[in-house]
Amino acid sequence: MRLYLINPANPLVSILKVKESRWNRYRVWKPLGLMVLAGLTPPGWEISIVDENLGAPDYPAMPRPDLVGITAFTSQANRAYEVADYFRRLGVPVVLGGIHATMCLDEVINRVDSVVTGEAEGIWAQVLEDARHGSLKRRYDGGLAEIGDVPFARHDLLATGYAFGAIQTTRGCPLNCSFCSVTAFNGARYRQRPIADVVREFKLIREKRVLVVDDNLIGTRPEHIARAKDLFRAMARADLRKEWVGQATINFADDEELLALAAKAGCKGVFVGFESPTPEGLVEIGKKFNLLKGRDFRASVRRVQRHHILVVGSFIIGLDVDEPGIGRHIAEVARQYGVDSINVGFLTPLPGTRLWDRMKSEDRLALNTFPQDWKYYTLTFPVARYKHLSLDGIIEEMVACDRNFYSTPRILRRVWRNLWQRRAPLISLVANLSYAGNSRLDSKVYADFKCQQGNRDW
Ligand code: B12
Ligand code: SF4
C-alpha cells in the first residue's frame, strides 16, 4: 500500500521565496506533523512525504498512491483543496488532518473523503485499517493524545533539503492568549514527553541544527520548570552536540540555573512572544503573564543573552489599542529590550480562537470569502478591520517598523554585538538578513495586495 503525506505550499508565504531571498533557504522548516504521522504508520505502508515548500512536485509523474494524507494550517487550506481535488479525480481517497481540519470541520468535510480532527496518535492506525478495507469513515477524532504515545518522528524521511531538523518535547499551553490557536487545539494542560524518549529521538536527527517546535518549551509552573531542567540535564549528559532554537515565555529569563542548563544542552536561540509594547495591549490579548509585577524586559533579555542565547522578539500590530505610530514604537521598544531580531505580524483572527469569535461577532473580518481568502491568513497581510488603523495605515505601520529595526546600520550593529559577545553570530546574521530581505519583498507584495483588495469594504 502506497501512502503520500503532503504538506501543501502557500505561494504567498514569503519565507518560501528562496529565489528572491536566498537567506530563506535556512528558514524552510520541516513538516513535523507528517513525520510523526509516518512514525505512527505500521509496516506494510510505503510512505513518501511530499513537502511542496521544497518545490512543485510533478504529481502525474509519480506512482499512483492508495491513500493520500494532507496536513494544513489555515493559510494552506486552498492549496490543500487543490491537491485533494487532483487525487480524488484519480479515484484516490484523500484524508485531511491538522489544525485547519479541526477548526473548520464543516468546510473541510465536503472537500475530502475523510477528516481527522485533533491529534492523530490515538486514531491513525484505525484510519489506515479502514482505508485498507475501502471503508473510510467521513470523520475521525483523535482528541488529545496520551503524551507517552507520541512516536518518534520519521527523521529518515525528508533527510535532505533543510537547514534544521525538528522535534517536539511538550504539547499544550495553559495561557490561552486570545489570538493563538494552541490552547484550543492542543489543550490547556501542559503535557511533557518522557525525557528518555526526547533524548533518544534527538539522536535520530541528522541535522546539526534543530528547531524545537514546542509552543512553550519550559511551561509556566514550578513543576514544568523542574522538568525542563531535568530534560536539559539529560540532553547535556547525552552529549548530543546539537544546536537548537525554541519558543518560550519570558519567564525563561527568571532562573539562572535553567538558562545555564539550556545553554549546556545546546540552546542557541529563543523566540519570545512580547506581543505588545503596552500593558493595555497585553491586557487586550489576555497575555497578563507578561505583566507580572516588577518584570523588566530589558534585564530579562540581557540575562538570556549572557548565556550566549539569541532572543527573537515577536510582536503584533493591529490591536484595538494600537494607534498610528505603533510601528516605530514597536521597533524602538524592541531596541530598548535589546533583542537580536524581531518578527512582527498583523493581528489575525484565526478560526477557533477567542479573537476570531470576537471579531466575527463584531463583523470585523474584512477578508471573509472563504475558503479563497484563507491564503491571506499568514499574519503577513491585514485581514480584518482594525480599530484605529485603515488598510493603508496598518501597512504603513508595518513598513515603518521593519525599516526602522532592519536598517542596514542597525543590522550591522546587532551582528557585531553578537560576534563580540559570542552569541550565535551566524544564526543572527541569517535571521536579520532573511527578515530584512522579506520585508523588502513584502513591500512589493503589499502594493499588489492593496490593488487587489483596496476596493473591498474595510
Ligand atoms: C512549527 C510551526 C511552524 C513552522 C512550520 C513547519 C511545518 N511546515 O510544519 C513555521 C515556522 C514555518 C510556521 C509557519 C506558520 N505558522 Co506555525 N506553527 C508551528 C507550531 C509551533 C508547531 C507545529 C508542529 O510542528 N507541531 C507538532 C506536530 C507533531 O503537530 P501537528 O502538526 O499539529 O500534527 C499533529 C496533528 O495536527 C495531526 N495532523 C497534522 N496533520 C495531519 C494530517 C493528517 C492526514 C492526519 C490524519 C493528522 C494530521 O497529527 C499530528 C500528530 O498528532 C504550531 C503550534 C502548534 N502547536 O501546532 C504553529 C501554528 C501551526 N502556526 C500557526 C501559524 C498562524 C503560522 C503562520 C501562518 C504564521 C506564522 N508566521 O507563524 C505560518 C504559515 C506557514 C505556511 N506555510 O502557510 C498557527 C496556525 C493556526 C491555524 N489555524 O492555521 C499555529 C497553531 C500557532 C498559533 N499560534 O496559533 N509554523
Ligand atoms: S501565544 Fe504562546 S503563551 Fe499564548 S497561548 Fe499561544 S503558545 Fe501559549
Q: How far is the CA of 181 from the centre of ligand 2 (A)?
A: 8
Considering every ligand atom shown, identify the ligand nearest to the alpha carbon of residue 282 and give its number: 2
Amino acid 20: pLDDT = 58
Amino acid 18: pLDDT = 56
φ, ψ for residue 296, nearest 5 deg? -115, 105
Closest Cα to atom 80 of ligand 1:
73
pLDDT in tens, 245-290: 999 999 999 999 999 999 999 999 999 999 999 999 999 999 988 8
The cell numbers describing 447, all together, are 502594493
Ligand 1 near 71 CB (within 6 A): yes
Mean pLDDT of 181-203: 97
Q: How far is the CA of 33 from the centre of ligand 1 (A)?
A: 8
| Of 319, 232, 318, the residue nearest 270 (C-alpha) | 232
Residues with CB under 6 A from ligand 2: 173, 175-177, 180, 182-183, 215-216, 249, 273
Q: How far is the CA of 221 from the centre of ligand 1 (A)?
A: 25
Q: How far is the CA of 122 from the centre of ligand 2 (A)?
A: 25
Ligand 2, residues 99, 170, 176, 177: which to mutate, most atoms within 8 A of Cβ?
177
- Number of residues in the chain: 458
Considering every ligand atom shown, identify the ligand nearest to the alpha carbon of residue 352 and give its number: 1
Closest Cα to atom 4 of ligand 2:
177
Q: How far is the CA of 181 from the centre of ligand 1 (A)?
A: 10
pLDDT in tens, 69-79: 999 999 999 99
H or E element at residue 45: none
C-alpha separations of 337 from 67, 69, 385, 433 in Å = 50, 43, 30, 20
On the question of pLDDT at 305 being above 70, the answer is: yes
Atom of ligand 1 nearest to the CA of 140: 47
**CA neighbours within 13 Å on the CB side: how many for 187?**
14
Considering every ligand atom shown, identify the ligand nearest to the alpha carbon of residue 31 and give its number: 1
Ligand 2, residues 249, 272, 285: which to mutate, most atoms within 8 A of Cβ?
249
pLDDT in tens, 108-166: 999 999 999 999 999 999 999 999 999 999 999 999 999 999 999 999 999 888 999 99
Neighbours of 64 (CB within 10 A): 12
| Of 176, 255, 179, 254, the residue nearest 216 (C-alpha) | 176
Q: What whole-number distance in Å separates Cα of residue 28 and Cα of residue 41? A: 25
On the question of pLDDT at 410 being above 60, the answer is: yes
Closest Cα to atom 28 of ligand 1:
33
Q: How far is the CA of 71 from the centre of ligand 1 (A)?
A: 9
| Of 325, 449, 453, the residue nearest 388 (C-alpha) | 325
Task: Report residue 22's pLDDT band, with 50, 70 and 90 as the boundaries.
Answer: low
Least confident of 116-130, 397-411, 428-442: 428-442
Q: Which phi-psi region, left, alpha or beta, contains residue 241 (left: φ > 0; alpha: ψ -120 to 50)?
A: left
Considering every ligand atom shown, identify the ligand nearest to the alpha carbon of residue 40 and give its number: 1
Block residue for cell numbers 491568513: 377
Regarding predicted confidence, which is higher, 217 or 408? 217
Task: Report residue 24's pLDDT band, with 50, 70 and 90 as the boundaries.
Answer: low
Which amino acid is present at 65? P
pLDDT in tens, 332-388: 999 999 999 999 999 999 999 999 999 999 999 999 999 999 999 999 999 999 999
Ligand 1, residues 144, 181, 183, 365: which to mutate, most atoms within 8 A of Cβ?
181
On the question of pLDDT at 454 being above 80, the answer is: no
Amino acid 139: pLDDT = 98
Mean pLDDT of 75-88: 98
* DSSP conformation class of 365: B
Which amino acid is present at 117? T
C-alpha separations of 327 from 233, 317, 318, 333, 405 in Å = 40, 7, 10, 10, 10
